[in-house]
Chains A and B, each alone.
Chain A
Amino acid sequence: MRKKIQYYLDLIIVLTHKELKVRYKSSFLGYLWSIAQPLCLAFVFFLAFKIVMRVQIEDYTLFLIAGLFPWQWFANSLGSSPLAFLNNVSIIKKVNFPRTVIPLTVILQDAFHFLLSIPVIVLFLFIYGKSPSPSWIYILPLLMVIQFFMIFGFSLLLSSVNLFFRDLERMASILLTLLFYFTPILYPETMVPQNFQPLLKFNPVAPIMMSWRNLFLTGAVNPGDIFVSLLYALAALVLGYRVYRSLSWRFAEIL
């Protein structure tokens, strides 16, 4: 048993290491690229909503960055998850290893980039005359774990089902776009009209994204939000793992 866990860990380490290395090996600017995209998005939304449409939100740039960086982790991991198994056909067909490590390494890699992007958030906090709160020390890891399990669940679901129903990879990117605008990232949840407010509860990523932003901007989070995200994360994990379990023995025949 212990040997099995050790082996599982080794697999994850080696594969994640490989992904990171491959990603940075042939690019000169390396790490900068992983923060360039959310920064650029933030800039575009700032132009559109603050400069052109003159939305009344305080410190809008900081507001955007605090929401976009965690969202990028979610969106990047899930965006690539439908292809996770498809990109590893040759080893899946030959070697009987725990296939869960493949989506897992994708998520770990994006989690790593998210961690590296936190200094950028801190920098913007300072620009706006604020500073990180000591509560980050325990809330940040908690949110990371919750978001990690939520992504893992969804990603097991997407990566497994997509092998049998390839339309899913197209649907996934559309769904992610929809989800982005339905989640309070560009706007605070308080701006959502009263009669639409209850709908926010049905968005599994809304509470975690709100928590991230609150944490970065104020250092305080709503315990209710954390609890609801935890429930959503567990539900995603159970669903994803069950689907994976029932389909995984057929991976090698369909690929």
Chain B
Amino acid sequence: MSEPVIVFDKVTKIFPLYHHMTGGLKNFLFHLPKAWNTLKNSKFEALRDVSFTVAKGEALGIIGRNGAGKSTTLGLMAGVLKPSEGKVVVKGRISPFLELGASFHPDLTGAENIILNGVLLGMTRSQVRKKADEIIEFSEIGDFIDQPIRIYSSGMLARLGFSVVAHLDPDILLIDEILQAGDIEFQKKCFQRMWEFRKSGVTMVLVTHSMENVKTLCDRVIWFDQRTVRMDGNPQDVVALYRSSAGIGP
């Protein structure tokens, strides 16, 4: 087993709930003792005492029901969240997969958005420019590339988003539920690209509800349940148990 690139050591993540501000000042002042108590106690635990490691080059799938802590885990890996307790160590350049066009601007053209997105995801401008032609070709958007993306269909947006990520040069790739984008043909292309990433030794973490994707792409799966790791093992076993626990046949 090669060295771990992602380490979660007894990680607990607690979100404070900030809703006390929304009640307004009047409410807050009139019910001061009560309001103060809720302010101190309104917390939400998203992860409890989670430990695991991901080895270099591994493709890890993360599954679990909504609210089980999958996205929080990704946020901690990406470094946008800090653990409340425990330690998260990540080694290497990490590329989060943006939700479809999260950082796209509707009034800019496809080509301009490629630059914007590429730089936000960690490339320098000259790196993006060098790869721009490749990215445009990969996306198969054609002449639309010089049109503002507000006129794009959602499929085209997905293509553009994936194409940028597909040309990044990360050590670790985080993917949050986006492989369903685009038509069958483009999906196939996405998968091919993912395989190339895997072959070139990129570590991948994939959060998804598609058990097919988990089985074909991952070599290990973690099942999150009730804020902790319920099961950690090879895809076939974990998926089978996950399915039967949800009452769906194998």
B is bound to A? yes
List the B residue with the shortest CB-CB distance to A253: B15
Asked whether any CB of chain A lies closer than 8 Å to the CB of B116, the reply is yes
Give A28-69 interface residues, CB cut-off 8 Å to B. none
Asked whether any CB of chain B lies closer than 8 Å to the CB of A252, the reply is yes
List the A residue with the shortest CB-CB distance to B13: A253
Query: What is the bound-complex CA distance between A15 and B98, given in angstroms?
Result: 17
Interface string of B91-111 (1 = CB under 8 A from A): 000101011001101011000
Residues on B with C-beta less than 8 A from A93 are 75, 80
List the B residue with the shortest CB-CB distance to A89: B102
Are A97's CB and B120's CB within 8 A?
A: yes
Query: What is the bound-complex CA distance between A10 and B121, given in angstroms?
Result: 12
Residues on A with C-beta less than 8 A from B98 are 90-91, 94-95
List the B residue with the shortest CB-CB distance to A7: B124
Query: What is the bound-complex CA distance between A253 and B79, given in angstroms?
Result: 12
Residues on A with C-beta less than 8 A from B125 are 10, 13-14
Query: What is the bound-complex CA distance between A13 and B75, given in angstroms?
Result: 26
Asked whether any CB of chain B lies closer than 8 Å to the CB of A26, the reply is yes
What is the size category of the interface that chain A forms with chain B? 20 to 34
Residues on A with C-beta less than 8 A from B148 are 25
Give A1-30 interface residues, CB cut-off 8 Å to B. 3, 6-7, 10-11, 13-15, 18, 21-22, 25-26
Give B66-125 interface residues, CB cut-off 8 Å to A. 75, 78-82, 94, 96, 98-99, 102-103, 105, 107-108, 112, 115-116, 119-122, 124-125
Are B107's CB and A92's CB within 8 A?
A: no
Are A91's CB and B102's CB within 8 A?
A: yes
Shortest Cβ gap from B112 to chain A (Å): 7
Query: What is the bound-complex CA distance between A91 and B98, given in angstroms?
Result: 8
Given A252-B81, A254-B18, check contact A94 B102 (CB 8 Å).
yes
Are A95's CB and B116's CB within 8 A?
A: no
For A26, A251, A253, which residue has the most chain B Cβ atoms within 10 angstroms?
A253
Asked whether any CB of chain B lies closer than 8 Å to the CB of A196, the reply is no
Asked whether any CB of chain A lies closer than 8 Å to the CB of B201, the reply is no
Give A99-154 interface residues, CB cut-off 8 Å to B. none
CB pairs A–B below 8 angstroms (27 shown)? A10-B125, A11-B119, A11-B120, A14-B120, A15-B116, A18-B112, A18-B116, A25-B107, A25-B148, A90-B99, A90-B102, A91-B120, A92-B80, A93-B80, A94-B99, A95-B78, A95-B80, A95-B96, A95-B103, A96-B78, A96-B80, A96-B94, A97-B122, A166-B21, A252-B75, A253-B15, A253-B16
Given A166-B21, A249-B82, check contact A7 B112 (CB 8 Å).
no
The residues of A with any CB-CB pair to B shorter than 8 Å are 3, 6-7, 10-11, 13-15, 18, 21-22, 25-26, 90-97, 164-167, 249, 251-254
List the B residue with the shortest CB-CB distance to A13: B125
Residues on B with C-beta less than 8 A from A90 are 98-99, 102-103
Residues on B with C-beta less than 8 A from A167 are 25
Interface string of B168-179 (1 = CB under 8 A from A): 000000000000
Contact of A10 among B21, B25, B102, B119 (CB under 8 A): B119
Query: What is the bound-complex CA distance between A106 and B178, given in angstroms?
Result: 31
Interface string of B121-137 (1 = CB under 8 A from A): 11011000000000000
Shortest Cβ gap from A192 to chain B (Å): 35
Shortest Cβ gap from B7 to chain A (Å): 17
Residues on A with C-beta less than 8 A from B103 are 90-91, 94-95
Query: What is the bound-complex CA distance between A253 and B14, given in angstroms?
Result: 10
Residues on A with C-beta less than 8 A from B105 are 18, 22
Are B120's CB and A21's CB within 8 A?
A: no
Are A14's CB and B75's CB within 8 A?
A: no
Contact of B122 among A7, A18, A22 (CB under 8 A): A7
Residues on B with C-beta less than 8 A from A10 are 119, 124-125
Residues on A with C-beta less than 8 A from B79 are 96
Query: What is the bound-complex CA distance between A13 and B94, given in angstroms?
Result: 22
Query: What is the bound-complex CA distance between A25 and B112, given in angstroms?
Result: 13
Are A95's CB and B120's CB within 8 A?
A: yes
Contact of A22 among B18, B108, B119, B124 (CB under 8 A): B108
Are B108's CB and A21's CB within 8 A?
A: yes
Residues on B with C-beta less than 8 A from A15 are 116
Residues on B with C-beta less than 8 A from A165 are 21
Residues on A with C-beta less than 8 A from B82 are 249
Shortest Cβ gap from B92 to chain A (Å): 13
Query: What is the bound-complex CA distance between A14 and B125, given in angstroms?
Result: 8
What are the 10 closest A-B residue pairs judged by CB atoms, nearest first? A90-B102, A96-B79, A252-B80, A91-B103, A14-B119, A10-B125, A22-B107, A249-B82, A10-B124, A94-B96
